[in-house]
Amino acid sequence: MNWFIEVVKKYAVFSGRARRKEYWMYVLVYVILAVVLAIVDFAVIGSQILGAILALGLLLPSLGVTVRRLHDTGRTGWWILIGLVPLVGSIVLLVFMCLEGETGGNKYGENPKLAPAHA
């Protein structure tokens, strides 16, 4: 949960790097929240309003962590736009998110794996 909170705290930070663990832990918590809200929506409200509020509320943190993850692999944040290409774009973006980051520093910052661990 700490990874998710750290990403939300840096909700509009598009500079720097994010390691794979930070990105995928954020995605995991996001998906769990989305499923829980979808169940509550269906059972109680009968609409999808809670899911829409979640998606809108976490839009900037999601974009920020994705751009930082792309920076970790040495790519510019503009690569996020490849996700707009049907099917192929999503697959390419998924591969980029799964790749290991550059081992040393790059033009986007130092390797986040060398940073102190979360408490």
What is the DSSP track for 39-108?
Answer: HHIIIIISSSHHHHHHHHHTHHHHHHHHHHHHHHTT--GGGGGGGGSTTHHHHHHHHHHHSPPPSS-BTT
Model confidence at 119, pLDDT cuts 50, 70, 90, reads very low
Domain ranges of the chain: 2-114
Q: How confident is the model at residue 95 (pLDDT cuts 50, 70, 90)?
A: very high
Distance of CA 31 to CAs 15, 54, 58, 63, Å? Answer: 24, 10, 12, 15
pLDDT for residue 86: 93
Distance, in Å, from the CA atom of 46 to the CA atom of 44, rounded to the nearest integer, reads 6
Phi, psi angle pair for 14, to nearest 5°: -110, 10
pLDDT at 98 (0 to 100)? 94
What is the pLDDT at residue 118?
57
Q: What is the mean pLDDT of residues 5-12?
A: 88
Give per-residue pLDDT as tens, 59-86: 999 999 999 999 999 899 999 999 999 9
Burial of 44 (0-12, 13-18, 19+ CB in 10 A): exposed
**Which one is predicted more confidently, 110 or 88?**
88
